[in-house]
Amino acid sequence: VVLSAMGKTTNNLLLAGEKAVSCGATKASEINELAIIKKLHLRTIDELGLDSSIVSGFLDELEQLLKGVAMMKELTLRTRDYLVSFGECMSTRIFSAYLNKLGKKARQYDAFDLGFITTDDFTNADILEATYPAVAKRLHGDWIDDPAIPIVTGFLGKGWKSCAVTTLGRGGSDLTATTIGKALGLREIQVWKDVDGVLTCDPNIYANAVPVPYLTFDEAAELAYFGAQVLHPQSMRPAREGGIPVRVKNSYNRHAPGTVITKTRDMRKSILTSIVLKSNITMLDIVSTRMLGQYGFLAKVFSIFEDLGISVDSVATSEVSISLTLDPSKLWSRELIQQELDHVVEELEKIAVVHLLQHRSIISLIGNVQRSSLILEKAFNVLRRNGVNVQMISQGASKVNISLVVNDSEAKQCVQALHSAFFENGFLSEVEEADLAQNMAPVLVSSNGAINGN
């Protein structure tokens, strides 16, 4: 079992650290977020009938750490990782103690002591290959000596040079789980969320969204990159490499079958899997000022983004122009700010004419791109009826994704209309009937052996 921190503990720890930087050491113990963390964990222990000593030492150390931050008036990335580790360290100890109280023998592990070896990129560390044999050896050895359910802290690791606590970035607990799954060669990894698996669209946008029973890792990655919040694409990598299915289940509806993610699946009857909306993106139209056929133009454009540390979502190109999208709420780390966008435009204008278009959305149609003509025909008919013009389309690089760019103000209406057209109005039945009719079309064999459709 791999656990995250309880409730909003990670956010509260980060807020407490930021407040400690600007307050005096004497005020550190009065930070509101510290009080919230203490109250949540002590109340939980009390309600479960456990001994408060399970977390009291951590809470005391946390308060001392915040006082140290307040004295130094500095919160380094290394200290920040150590600070947020308290959440997982406490939640796993509480859970392990409760299982033991119920008579289910459990053993708590901190991932940084279990064998999770990472780079020293604090706040966003990568797991190193040495982790897999180290974790397998420790868990197998302990199980043979004294069988007990392992309860492991998600999200955490140990830097291979610094030996300090590191964190794995967004989706870190899922990544911990899939890493253990690969290390042990397990038959399945289950990720428990607050939804009935991966859905056909965001239920907050359209209430008629339904669970998708099966996905490939490629589809799951595209869903995550383009806005679905259920899984982080990095977290799927070990399971994909190990060929281990990942099942997404709902903690609040545990009898729901959920979504099973595997390397491949039968796509013969699949057309559209899910519709994902990513809002508040920025679109750039970049037109070369040089003559037609000038080589090196694309290289220059992307070197500018590399130099500025900005990633690109979708791209469409022609001989002398490029349209691309940037994600202001960056997937991996910080947010783009207006000054950065202005700087991008300033650099690009040295080699091109640039139009910056903000308040756009990407609608991603995740599905069987072998049926892309059918998907696009239906999608554009729906958008035309709704008076929506698509400003950019990207398809081909991904074998499971067609991305359309529209105005933010039209995006939710588009998702609702597309979901209704593809998933609710008998579209799949129509396609199946058409396919059947096509397969059963009579043929006429002429005297010279040529076959003609009739």
Give me the residue spans of the domains in the chain.
Answer: 273-436
Sign of CA dihedral 226, 228, 231, 236: negative
Confidence (pLDDT) at 371 = 83
Yes or no: say if 215 and 182 are a contact pair by the CB < 8 Å rule: no
- Stretch 18-36: mean pLDDT, rounded? 90
DSSP track, 210-244: -B-SEEEHHHHHHHHHTT--S--GGGGHHHHHHT-
Hey, which of 16-25, 140-149, 261-270 has the most confident mean pLDDT? 140-149
Contacts of 421 (CB under 8 A, 6+ apart): 378, 379, 381, 382, 427
Residue 438 pLDDT more than 50? yes
Paired tokens of 153 = 């802290």
CA distance 3 to 98: 14
CA-based max dimension of the chain? 100
Confidence (pLDDT) at 260 = 94
What are the two backbone dihedrals, phi and then psi, of residue 183, each rounded to the nearest 5 degrees? -60, -40
Per-position b or e across 325-361, b if 16+ CB within 10 A of its CB: bbbeeebeeeebeeebbeebeebbeebbebeebeebb
CA distance 76 to 164: 13
Confidence (pLDDT) at 349 = 87
Confidence (pLDDT) at 248 = 92
At 18, the pLDDT band (50, 70, 90 cuts) reads very high
What HEC string does 252-312 produce? CCCCCCCEEEECCCCCCCCCEEEEEEEEEEEEEEEEECCCCCCCCHHHHHHHHHHHHCCCE
Residue 253 pLDDT more than 60? yes
Confidence (pLDDT) at 16 = 95
CA distance 291 to 350: 15
What are the two backbone dihedrals, phi and then psi, of residue 184, each rounded to the nearest 5 degrees? -95, -5
pLDDT in tens, 221-241: 888 777 666 777 788 889 999
Cα→Cα distances 71→3, 8, 109, 149, Å? 32, 26, 32, 41
CA distance 88 to 107: 14
Percent of the chain past pLDDT 70, that is, above it, reads 88
Q: Where are the beta strands (DSSP E) in 318-351?
A: 321-326
Confidence (pLDDT) at 448 = 44
What are the two backbone dihedrals, phi and then psi, of residue 376, each rounded to the nearest 5 degrees? -65, -40
Yes or no: say if 424 and 391 are a contact pair by the CB < 8 Å rule: no
Paired tokens of 135 = 């974790």
**What is 273-436's CATH topology?**
VC0802-like (3.30.2130)
From 237, 244, 80, 238, select the one nearest 167 (Cα to Cα): 80
At 82, the pLDDT band (50, 70, 90 cuts) reads very high
Strand partners, 363: 277, 404
At 431, the pLDDT band (50, 70, 90 cuts) reads low
Q: Give kind and range of the element (H or E) at residue 360.
A: strand 352-367
CA distance 221 to 371: 20
Strand partners, 353: 287
Strand partners, 403: 364, 394
Residue type, 9: T
Q: What is the mean pLDDT of the chain?
A: 86
- Stretch 335-345: mean pLDDT, rounded? 74
CA distance 18 to 23: 9
